[in-house]
Amino acid sequence: MIYLARDMLCVAHLSAQLVGDPRWQNFNMSNPLFLCAFVTLVACGSKPPPPATQAPDEPAAVVASEPGVTPEATATPTPATTAPEVIPEPATPAPAQAEKDLLAAEISAYEAAKPVFDKFCAGCHTKAGPGAKKGTLAHFETTNYPFQGHHTDEMAASIRKTLGVGGGRATMPRNKPGSVQGEDLALILKWADAFDASHVSGAHEDKSKHHGHGAASKHHGHGAAK
């Protein structure tokens, strides 16, 4: 704006000189009156244009949320997962019932093996046996079931040993050691296994449960082996 005013005065002065205007020929640009007029013109005409009006920014959208929960803290829902199917395990028999089952299996095995005991053991290990002796009966008596003797708890292991099972030398029957073989031996061993299973389970601890120790003849009609 300043430069435009100056250029206009110069042009006016030059034009007056060219046309011979005496009013402008003696004009001096350094004249104090000119300077005052020039400053006034510049002050009035050099006001800066008003600033352009800028549209206000639109407010950011606010996401509604529950009180006390910020949008960042809102958990993203996860798809529901299906729990794997659980297959129930077979029910375990109650201890009392398990003992009864083991005792029943033991008695059944004894019933099957009784003819073998009568054939090879009754002569010396029953009270009515011709070869029965007090010491022999005290060690192992088969008159009734359950068997009686000093080693009742280890009876199955003792019978296996005397019959030579496991590689040792058979010592029974007394009159013919090692004569219990084949099916007869298999029946004796099956009973021995059933006896051990009952004993390990604790079924023999209560004598009353074990069909009345020493009184099998009342329950099974075994009587004295002959």
Q: How far apart are CA 113 and CA 121, in angstroms?
A: 12
At residue 150, the pLDDT reads: 87
At residue 66, the pLDDT reads: 53
- Which residues are within 8 A (CB) of 104 and not within 5 positions of it... i.e. 6 or more apart? none
At residue 115, the pLDDT reads: 97
pLDDT above 90 covers what percent of the chain? 43
At residue 226, the pLDDT reads: 33
User: How does the average pLDDT of the chain come out, rounded?
Assistant: 73
At residue 152, the pLDDT reads: 85
Total number of domains in the chain: 2
Residue 161: which domain range?
95-220
> Is 79 a domain residue?
no
> Is 69 a domain residue?
no
Indicate if 128 and 188 belong to the same structural domain: yes
Q: How far apart are CA 173 and CA 182, in angstroms?
A: 15
Indicate if 101 and 20 belong to the same structural domain: no
Q: Specify which residues 141 forms β-bridges with.
A: 148
Say if residues 149 and 139 touch (Cβ distance below 8 Å): yes
At residue 176, the pLDDT reads: 94
Residues in the chain, total: 226
- The whole-model pTM stands at 0.53
Q: Over the stretch 124-165, which tens digit does the pLDDT of each residue have?
A: 999 999 999 999 999 999 999 999 998 788 999 999 999 999
Closest CA to 27 of 2, 4, 10: 10
Q: How far is CA 66 from CA 69, 74, 76, in A?
A: 6, 9, 15
> Is 59 a domain residue?
no
At residue 213, the pLDDT reads: 42
* Neighbouring C-alpha atoms within 13 Å toward the C-beta of 45: 12
> Is 216 a domain residue?
yes
Say if residues 180 and 67 touch (Cβ distance below 8 Å): no
Taken in order 203, 205, 211, 214, the sign of the CA dihedral is: positive
